[in-house]
Amino acid sequence: MSTSALADDLGAIVGPRHVRVAVAERVTYAMDGLPTHRRLPDVVVLPGTREEVIAVIRLLAVLGIPFVPRGAGTGLSGGALAEEGAVLIVLTRLNRILKVDAANRSALVEPGVVNARLSAATRPHGLHYAPDPSSQTACTIGGNVAENAGGPHCLKYGVTANHILALEVVLASGETALLGSPGGEPWGPDLVGLFVGSEGNFGVATRITVRLTPLPRAVRTLLADFMTLRTAGEGVSAIIAAGIVPAALEMMDQSCIQAVEDSVYAAGYPRDAAAVLLVELDGQDDGAVGAEADTVSAILKQAGARAVRSAQNEAERERLWQGRKKAFGAMGRLSRDLVVQDAVVPRSALPDVLETIAGIAARYRLVVSNVFHAGDGNLHPNISFDATDEPMRIRVELASAEIMAACIAAGGTITGEHGVGLDKLRYMPLIFDAESLGAMLAVRRVFDPEERVNPGKVVPVHACREWARSVNPGAMPRGSGRVNPGATPRGQPVLAQ
Amino acid sequence: MTILEKVTALLGEGAVLEAGTDQVPRIAPGSPDAVALLLGTAHQEGWHVRIEGAGTWLPSDAPADLALTTRRLDRVPAVEPQDLTATAEAGIGLDQLRQQLADRGAWLAVDPPGLAGRTLGSMVATATAGPLRQGFGPVKDHLLGVTFVTGDGRMVQSGGRVMKNVAGYDLTRLQAGGFGAFGVIVLVHLRLRALPRADVTHVLEGSRDELTQIAEDIAASGLTPAALELVSPALARRDRWVLAVRLVGSPTLVSADEAGLGRFAKLRAEEAHGFWMRLAEGFAVRPVTFRIGGVPAASDELLDLLQHQVGDEWISAAPAAGAIRWSGDTTVDRLQRLRRTLAALEVPLTLERAPWPVRTAVGHFGAYREGAGPLVAGLRRTFDPGGALVVATDGE
């Protein structure tokens, strides 16, 4: 089938103006938030209803054409890029909050609802959607589900997986499945838990029931500054070991502090500090939260903090947080491009790993800024670079690989919240053996026997030990069964230009 | 060669334990690798294997060629109090594990039903959380990763040992509550809490309606109890229903929350311990135990439904979380009818423990919503292609 014929068929489902074929239109979708990967999709389609999503996926199933679901494209792993020969299904038009059930603290939403919009809509009920990725003003709940997104406040409240109760999903075959239950109890095995974080490989979530969390009545936000990264890392361990679970516990190093303070997001962080910790405590009783804040302040001073200050009002609190949440944007001042890395280490390993990362940055002559979820041990070493400088780009790749290796050696993992996507595929064999990778591929084939949804992501197929295919007649595709986009059942190029 | 002779040759005499009353050979592999060897052989030989832990939760009555017990997998390779993580083999008793953690100032915030010696693997495989689910979430929220052996003897790792991890698909969540249908869990990486410095329980007796309303009010007030459990008179061994509130954490926060409890009576530490222990053990006594999970606002209606269809003698419920556990004596017909009724209300019923004839007729799971059944079946075939593992996932 030619591209124009496919576009016509898709246009008949969603309306011609919601199909993009011109290069100038498609190039918008060639990247996500990570500038090191670029893929130009052949066709972009933007369905506006769940029925249109189902019809589009059924058409692609009949034709045997692979596809990639995409939300706002803020991901940081190259996960929502469509290879040549694949159709990109953009879900941002499915942006309705279908129901807010304040009594049961839940909401039913479409996948294209923007994360921060959901919290804004539920605020009048005294509720919010707790997972708060830094991109929350743009990223969508569907994308959060696909990536199992985190955020600063996930330390206390848990990541996306802890907040998804039920899903309606469309499988590669175009069939729908209802997973979980409105109360959150799994219906049989925990298929919601399995689906969340599957990076689009298991299908498209078209309706999402989320858990809402009461807004805390009392909040204290502390800023502690340290003269060494090590003492800041030790301060983190001291808080956790004391049995205190702050709502958030974030760290920024000097390079990050400077970038923020030079930007319009200047938060009043001390410029000469080697690191600052942003600690937030919340609860329902003002006196108790205040007392807990005093305890944390004493712990941090004992751990070596030069000063600990508490935000005196909401405006100051917002300013402190704005610096943290806009840190990635502020780093745009440092260089043309930025790789936001993501890895997790045991909390107690933070001081050593941060020193190792500093050594790697020096060796490769790169600027690495650290801004991360210290309470979870979830690092974000951000490498500033210029993508047009090829030798520098190679140094970035090598440094990234060494940083990952250092985190794995410390007992950690290669991604805590950004996902594997394309970017971390090569690291998967470093943490999973061939049998375990084979198990993942086998599970994927239960949902998508032809591996047509978001092909080439998450599991490096070449590194897998082969598992027998579990043939499921109910989910058998009706198309050619070929992942190869180069041929259709009729032997024609799928998407000839 | 008999099966027993083959297994003895494979794993040594030390792995062969005394058979149960049904004379099915009971094999206790001494390492995860031995589990893989045994299941790989079972797959090749076409043996049917039932999975057992300490034998204190599910009855050891499934028809099988041999019983695989995890009870020799009882090591705790790592406890990291600084990081609040631990790694433990699946066969360790929860009582032993708790003690080892407490010695290091750490705490696993799950209080599943059953006897104290119930294994960690049993708790994970059946995803049986207890009253602490109110404050600390279901079993899956306490897992960082698991290692499991499939029905054809493949050893698979999922997750890791750190707080956040999205590398690859979350097979850990599939195993938590899979009842062993997708493999035998051999090793578990746990997320811990610091041993709470304050841990108090307050109780209030009253009518069910009155206490349900009070539970809702407490949840709405912003109090964050670790447990907020409504217990039937028979289970609580009291004259009336009991609402128990457990508060844990720093003394400051606990005292602040206690101040909001009003008419409740505070239990002494040993009374509180006894109360929660009796509650947990009660569910290991009656022949059938199941759980249902609805939306919080439906708790009262669901309790009425249970009372009407199966009686309400032994019930423990978290009205604010919509979770209800029932235990008693009932029939296959009643369970099947109840599951159908609940399914129409979008409420799943998970059969947690029952004699084999009931398990196999009713299934741990069933009455799936649209499109989920084929996925469960496909996953089952993937992880146990030869059908070696005897697990009654779906009823007849």
Q: What is the pLDDT of residues A448-463, one digit of tens each?
A: 999 999 999 999 999 9
- A473: pLDDT confidence band, cut at 50, 70 and 90? very low
Instruction: Name the residue among B170, B194, B393 with its Cβ closest to that of A242.
Output: B194
Fold of B288-364: Alpha-Beta Plaits (3.30.70)
Per-chain mean pLDDT for chain A: 92
Question: Residue A420's closest chain B neighbor by CA?
Answer: B167
Q: Are B226 and B135 in contact (CB under 8 A)?
A: yes
Domain boundaries, chain B: 3-69, 78-194, 198-282, 288-364
Q: What is the pLDDT of residues B59-94, one digit of tens each?
A: 999 999 999 999 999 999 999 998 999 999 999 999
- Determine whether the interchain pair A432/B155 forms a contact, defined as Cβ–Cβ distance below 8 Å: no
Please give the structure tokens belonging to residue A20. 């993009």
Instruction: Name the residue among A419, A435, A446 with its Cβ closest to that of B379.
Output: A446
Q: Are A199 and A458 in contact (CB under 8 A)?
A: yes
Instruction: Name the residue among B166, B347, B369 with its Cβ closest to that of A197.
Output: B166
Q: Are B368 and A187 in contact (CB under 8 A)?
A: yes
Residues 6+ apart with CB under 8 A from B3: B25, B45, B47, B65, B66
Mutate to test the interface with B, among A220, A285, A352, A378 (most CBs of B within 10 A): A285
Average pLDDT over residues A391-408: 96
Provide the chain A residues 153-182 that lie in CB contact (below 8 A) with chain B: 154, 158-159, 161-162, 171, 175-179, 181-182
Residues 6+ apart with CB under 8 A from B8: B15, B16
Beta bridge partners of A108: A99, A209
Residues 6+ apart with CB under 8 A from B23: none
Q: What is the pLDDT of residue B220?
A: 86
CA angle B109, B79, B122 (to 5 degrees): 50
**DSSP secondary structure string, A249-267?**
EEEEEHHHHHHHHTSTT--
Rounded CA separation A131/A148 (Å): 10
Residue A125 pLDDT > 90, yes or no?
yes
Residue A285 pLDDT > 90, yes or no?
no
Question: Out of A232-241, A404-413, B141-150, which region has the weakest mean confidence (pLDDT)?
Answer: A232-241
Q: What CATH number was assigned to the domain covering residues B198-282?
A: 3.30.70.2190
Q: Are A21 and A3 in contact (CB under 8 A)?
A: yes
- Determine whether the interchain pair B165/A415 forms a contact, defined as Cβ–Cβ distance below 8 Å: yes
Rounded CA separation B369/A168 (Å): 10
Beta bridge partners of A277: A224, A251
Beta bridge partners of A308: A224
- B269: pLDDT confidence band, cut at 50, 70 and 90? very high
- A487: pLDDT confidence band, cut at 50, 70 and 90? very low
Residue A484 pLDDT > 80, yes or no?
no
Average pLDDT over residues A4-13: 97
Mutate to test the interface with B, among A187, A198, A447, A457 (most CBs of B within 10 A): A187
Rounded CA separation B253/B260 (Å): 11
Q: What is the pLDDT of residue A494?
A: 34
ipTM, interface predicted TM-score of the complex: 0.97
Question: In Å, how far are A142, A145, A286, A421 from A197, measured between CA atoms?
Answer: 11, 6, 36, 11
Provide the chain A residues 351-410 that lie in CB contact (below 8 A) with chain B: 373, 376-378
Beta strands per DSSP E along B85-137: 85-89, 106-107
User: Is A189 an interface residue toward B (CB < 8 Å)?
Assistant: yes
Please give the structure tokens belonging to residue B146. 């698991």
Backbone angles phi, psi at A138, to 5 degrees: -125, -35
CA-closest candidate to residue B301, choices B365, B209, B170: B209
Provide the chain A residues 18-77 that lie in CB contact (below 8 A) with chain B: none
- Determine whether the interchain pair B323/A444 forms a contact, defined as Cβ–Cβ distance below 8 Å: no
H or E segment at A273? none
Shortest alpha-carbon distance between residue B24 and chain A (Å): 28
% of chain A at pLDDT higher than 90: 86
DSSP state of B264: P
Contacts of A376 in chain B (CB under 8 A): 162-164
Per-chain mean pLDDT for chain B: 96
User: Is A196 an interface residue toward B (CB < 8 Å)?
Assistant: yes
Q: How far apart are the first and last CA of chain B?
A: 34
Q: Are A278 and A248 in contact (CB under 8 A)?
A: yes
Average pLDDT over residues A48-61: 98
Residues 6+ apart with CB under 8 A from B89: B32, B70, B73, B74, B75, B76, B77, B120, B186, B187, B188
Neighbours of B142 (CB within 10 A): 22
Contacts of A190 in chain B (CB under 8 A): 127, 140, 173-174, 176-177
Question: In Å, how far are A76, A394, A400, A434 from A390, measured between CA atoms?
Answer: 21, 6, 15, 33
Residue A383 pLDDT > 80, yes or no?
yes
Fold of A218-329: Alpha-Beta Plaits (3.30.70)
Residue B340 pLDDT > 60, yes or no?
yes
DSSP state of A453: B
Shortest alpha-carbon distance between residue A430 and chain B (Å): 11
Average pLDDT over residues A262-288: 93
Q: In which region does residue B311 sit, left (phi positive, over 0), alpha (psi from -120 to 50) or beta (all else)? A: left
Contacts of A477 in chain B (CB under 8 A): none
Question: Residue A218's closest chain B neighbor by CA?
Answer: B222
Q: What CATH number was assigned to the domain covering residues B3-69?
A: 3.30.43.10
Asked if B3-69 and B78-194 have one fold, the answer is no
Rounded CA separation B299/A142 (Å): 29
pTM assigned to the model: 0.95
Backbone angles phi, psi at A387, to 5 degrees: -65, -15
- A92: pLDDT confidence band, cut at 50, 70 and 90? very high
Provide the chain A residues 433-472 that lie in CB contact (below 8 A) with chain B: 433, 435-440, 442-447, 458-459, 467-468, 470, 472
Q: What CATH number was assigned to the domain covering residues A1-215?
A: 3.30.465.10
Instruction: Name the residue among A178, A193, A346 with its Cβ closest to that of B162.
Output: A346
CB pairs under 8 A between A and B: 275
User: Is A263 an interface residue toward B (CB < 8 Å)?
Assistant: no
CATH 3.30.465.10 fits B78-194, yes or no: yes
* CA A7, chain centre distance (Å): 30
Shortest alpha-carbon distance between residue A433 and chain B (Å): 8
Residue A495 pLDDT > 50, yes or no?
no
Question: Residue B137's closest chain A neighbor by CA?
Answer: A162
Domain boundaries, chain A: 1-215, 218-329
Q: Are B166 and A415 in contact (CB under 8 A)?
A: yes
